[in-house]
Amino acid sequence: MIEARDLTKSFGGKVAVDHLSFTVQPGRVTGFLGPNGAGKSTTMRLILGLDRPSGGEATIDGKRYADLVNPLRTVGALLEAKSVHTGRSARNHLLFLAQTQGLPASRVDAMLELVGLREVARRRAGGFSLGMGQRLGVAAALLGDPQILLLDEPVNGLDPEGVLWIRNLMKHLASQGKTVLVSSHLMSEMAVTADHLIVIGRGRLLANASTEDVIARGSGQSVRVRTPDPGRLTALITAEGGSAVPAANGNGEGNGTTDHAPVLTVTGVPAARIGELAASAGIVLHELTPQLATLEDAFLELTADSLEFGHLGTDLPGETASTGPATAGQATAGQATAGQATAGQATAGQATAGQATAGQASQPSKGSVR
C-alpha cells in the first residue's frame, strides 16, 4: 500500500505538490491522472525517495522508501525520465540492479526473456528504440518481483502493440493482488486500464474515487431536448428548478438531420421528468437524450481551473468533448471511451490541449458538459 500524507514539494517557491494525501490500495490499477505539469512525476519521485519532500511524507507499507530493505523486492518503478546508461548493455543494467538486491543473474535473464529483449541483451541500451527502452524499464521494475508498482506515463510514445502490452501487464499484475499506480495525462488510456482514479491538478488532489464515480460525478448529467416550442418548455423547466439553455451547435447542422427545431441543453431535471412536463403541457418533443459524461468530460471539468495555461479557450463557442458515434448520447460512458481509445489517443490530446477544436464543430454534439 502506498500512502501520501500532506505531501508537499516546492521548487524555489513554486509549489509542485500541494498538501497531497491519498492511499493506493492493492489488487487494482490506480490511475494517477492530471494535466501535464500537475505534479504527477514529482509525487512519484517523492514516494520513491528521489526527491525530498518540503512537507508531509510518503510511505510504502508504512515505511519511507529509504528504509525499505532490498527496495526493488518491494517496489518496482518505471520512471518517465531516462534512467539507463546509454553505454551499458541491457543485461549489465539489470545485472547491477539485481546485485544490489542479492538477486541471481538468472533472474536478470528471466526478465529479459519476459520483456522480449533476450536477443538484444548484450547490445548497448543507447541504441534502443523507445519501445525497447520502455521494455527494459519494465524489466527493471519487475526484477525483484515487487508487490507494488509505480509506472510514470508508461505508454507515452509507444506504438499500439506496446500500449496493449503495458495495459495487459498492468491488469495482470493488479489481478495478482499487487498495488499498481500508473500516471497518465491520457484520460482515454485510464478509462480502459484504471479501476480507481486519483486526479490532481496544480499539485492538489481533485478527485480520489473509482473510475466510474469520477465519470458520473465529474460533470453531472444533462439532457439534450429538441422541441419546436423551446420558450414554454424552458419556463416549465425553470419552474422545476432546472435550467435550459439553447445548445451550442443546436440546429444539428451536419448532423444529417432535416429537423431544424431548436435544441436545448437541460440540466438539473432528469430526462423522465422533462418528458412528463412536456406531456402534461402538450409540448411536442422531437428528441430527448440523456447525456452521459465521459472520462474526458469529467477530467476537463475537474482540471479546468488547474491547467497550467489557464482558461484560454474554455469560453470558446462549440466547446464540446466529442464522443464518437452520432448516437453518442445513448452510448454508455465506457463504450464511448473505449471506442476512442481504439481510435487513437488523438482525441484525448486535443481535449487537453485546447478543448475546442474546429473539427468538433461539424461533428454531432453530445452536448456541452458545462
Partner 1 sequence: MSVTPVTTDSVASTDQPWQGRRAGFGHDMLAEWTKIRSVRSTLWTLIIAIIVIVGFTALISWVVVANWNGPHAAARDARAISDPTSIIYGVAIYLGQLAFAVLGVLVVTTEYSTGVIRASLLAVPKRYTMLAAKVVVFTLVMLVLAEIISFGSFFVGALILHNHVSVSLSDHDVLRATFGAGLYLVGFGLFALAIGVLIRHTAGAISVAVAVAFVLPILTGLLPDTSFFNHLNAYLPEQAGSQIYLVRPTGIPLLSAWQGLGVLAIYIVVLLGIGAYLFDRRDA
Q: What is the CB neighbour count within 10 angstroms for residue 82?
A: 11
The correct pick among 1, 130, 164, 326 for binding partner 1 (CB under 8 A) is: 164
Q: Which amino acid is at 16?
A: A
Q: Tell me, by CB under 8 A, how many residues bind partner 1.
A: 57
19 and 7 in contact (C-beta within 8 Å)?
yes
| Minimum separation from the CB atom of position 157 to partner 1 (A) | 15
| Minimum separation from the CB atom of position 18 to partner 1 (A) | 17
Residues 180 and 141: their CA atoms lie apart, in Å, by: 12
Q: Of the ranges 135-143, 179-187, 242-250, 272-280, which one interacts with partner 1 (CB under 8 A)?
A: 135-143
Q: Give just the sign of the alpha carbon dihedral 154, 158, 159, 165.
A: negative
Q: x/- contact string, 69-98, with partner 1 (CB under 8 A)?
A: xxxxx-x-x-x-xxxxxxxxx--xx-xxx-
Burial zone of 194 (CB within 10 Å; 0-12 exposed, 13-18 middle, 19+ buried): buried
Q: Which is nearer to partner 1, 32 or 65 (CB)?
A: 65
Q: Is residue 160 close enough to count as binding partner 1 by CB under 8 A?
A: no
Q: Which is nearer to partner 1, 62 or 87 (CB)?
A: 87
Which residues ranging from 27 to 56 are in contact with partner 1 (CB under 8 A)? 45, 48-52
In terms of Cα–Cα distance, which of 156, 187, 155 is closest to 31? 187
Q: Which is nearer to partner 1, 98 or 236 (CB)?
A: 98
Q: What is the CB neighbour count within 10 angstroms for residue 10?
A: 15
Residues 370 and 359: their CA atoms lie apart, in Å, by: 19
Q: What is the CB neighbour count within 10 angstroms for residue 184?
A: 23
Q: Is residue 237 close enough to count as binding partner 1 by CB under 8 A?
A: no
Q: Which residues bind partner 1 (CB under 8 A)?
A: 45, 48-52, 65-66, 68-73, 75, 77, 79, 81-89, 92-93, 95-97, 99-104, 107, 110, 113-116, 131-132, 135, 140, 142, 145, 161, 164-165, 168-169, 172-173, 176
